[in-house]
């Protein structure tokens, strides 16, 4: 079955009713991460934090390969600068940070599969050392044939009914949405 | 010149993925960068590619960029004054 990924991403953007012209210029990976973050932060009161208090730590397996391939094809003619800027996976984080004015620690890591231990350790250190008060974490993967985005928000201050941030709990939830058990 | 400016508006919209913008939304003398159409530095590079690919016109001096890319009219004037005859 052929998947119309650009069509799907556009329909989600239109459904959200957000006016953000730069969305159209993003590659599919950035669009996916950007849209997933819009949904994740729908009810999040970011005003209670300083811009430097909020970070983004994302992971995937394919890096920016989807944009890399498109760029490789485009250089047969004159290379597109607009496409070139998306040939790094962390650009998705940049788009999220620009949109929400986040200025905290951010990083994009490549793993074979989602690594709950790593994300838990890394983000816990950022929160415990006071470098961040909140962090958007997860997995954003884009390929020509499919995509996957699973994001979650971690906050240093414990909220009522909040889910405990630990590796086993994160892994359990990722397995529940189709990730392989290690 | 009017025909060239109309073509340019369509090309700019297509090349820069300005999907919320229609050709009639872009004034002939409207600033393209900053407070005008809100284009950025990557868009400027895309415009250089557009001139080279579509109109076979090369920007030889980068310092002339801000003057040339000020508006659709200034781009059209640059194309007119630099195009290769019969190209």
- Does residue A1 register a pLDDT over 60? no
- Residue B44 phi/psi, 5° resolution? -60, -40
Locate the chain A residue with the closest alpha carbon to B54.
Answer: A78
Mutation target for B interface from A25, A71, A77, A98: give the one with most B CBs within 10 A: A25
More confident residue, B5 or B37: B5
Over residues B16-31, mean pLDDT:
92
User: Which distant-in-sequence residues (6+ apart) come within 8 Å of A166 by Cβ?
Assistant: A120
Residue B86's pLDDT band (boundaries 50, 70, 90)?
A: low
For residue B19, list chain A residues with Cβ-Cβ distance below 8 A. Answer: 21, 24
Q: Where are the alpha helices (DSSP H) in chain B?
A: 2-15, 41-55, 65-68, 72-82
The pLDDT of residue A79 is 84
Asked if the Cβ–Cβ distance from B43 to A85 is below 8 Å, we say no
For residue A85, list chain B residues with Cβ-Cβ distance below 8 A. Answer: 42
Domains observed in chain A: 5-176 (3.40.47.10)
The pLDDT of residue A32 is 98
Q: What is the ipTM of this complex?
A: 0.76
Q: Which of A1-10, A101-110, A135-144, B50-59 is the least confident region?
A: A1-10
β-strand pairing of A147-155 with A134-142: antiparallel
Which pLDDT tens digit goes with each residue over A21-73? 889 999 999 999 999 999 999 999 999 999 999 999 999 999 999 999 999 99
CA distance A32 to chain B (A): 17
The pLDDT of residue A69 is 94
- Does residue B85 register a pLDDT over 70? no
Which pLDDT tens digit goes with each residue over A77-134? 888 899 999 999 999 999 999 999 999 999 999 999 999 999 999 999 999 999 999 9
Rounded alpha-carbon distances, angstroms, from residue A148 to A13, A31, A56 = 16, 12, 17
User: In sequence order, what are the beta bridge partners of A133?
Assistant: none
Which pLDDT tens digit goes with each residue over A150-176? 999 999 998 888 889 999 999 999 999
**B8, B1 contact by CB (below 8 A):** no
Q: Which two tokens stand for residue B10?
A: 């369509």
Domains observed in chain B: 2-82 (1.10.1200.10)
End-to-end CA distance of chain B: 17
Q: Is A19 on the interface with B (CB under 8 A)?
A: yes
| DSSP string for residues in A54-115 | EEEEEEESSTTHHHHHHHHHHTTSSPPHHHHTTSSTTHHHHHHHHHHT--S-EEEEE-SS--
């Amino acid at each position: 079955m052929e998947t119309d990924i650009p069509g799907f991403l556009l329909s989600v953007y239109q459904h959200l009713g957000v006016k953000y012209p730069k969305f159209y210029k993003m590659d599919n990976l950035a669009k996916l991460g950007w849209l997933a973050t819009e949904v994740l932060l729908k009810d999040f009161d970011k005003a209670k934090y300083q811009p430097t208090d909020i970070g983004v730590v994302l992971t995937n397996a394919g890096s920016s390969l989807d944009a890399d391939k498109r760029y490789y094809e485009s250089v047969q003619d004159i290379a597109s600068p607009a496409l070139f800027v998306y040939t790094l996976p962390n650009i998705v984080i940049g788009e999220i940070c620009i949109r929400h004015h986040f200025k905290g620690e951010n990083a994009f890591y490549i793993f074979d599969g989602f690594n709950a231990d790593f994300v838990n350790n890394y983000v816990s250190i950022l929160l415990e050392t006071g470098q961040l008060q909140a962090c958007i974490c997860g997995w954003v993967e884009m390929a020509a044939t499919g995509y996957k985005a699973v994001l979650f928000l971690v906050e240093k201050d414990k909220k009522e009914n909040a889910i405990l941030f630990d590796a086993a709990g994160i892994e359990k939830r990722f397995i529940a949405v189709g990730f392989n058990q290690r | 010149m009017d025909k060239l400016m109309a073509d340019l508006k369509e090309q700019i919209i297509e090349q820069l993925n300005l999907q919320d913008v229609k050709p009639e939304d872009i004034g002939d003398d409207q600033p393209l960068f900053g407070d005008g159409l809100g284009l950025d530095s990557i868009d400027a590079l895309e415009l250089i590619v557009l001139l080279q690919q579509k109109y076979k016109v090369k920007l030889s001096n980068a310092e002339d960029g801000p003057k040339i890319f000020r508006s659709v009219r200034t781009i059209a004037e640059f194309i007119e004054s630099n195009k290769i005859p019969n190209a």
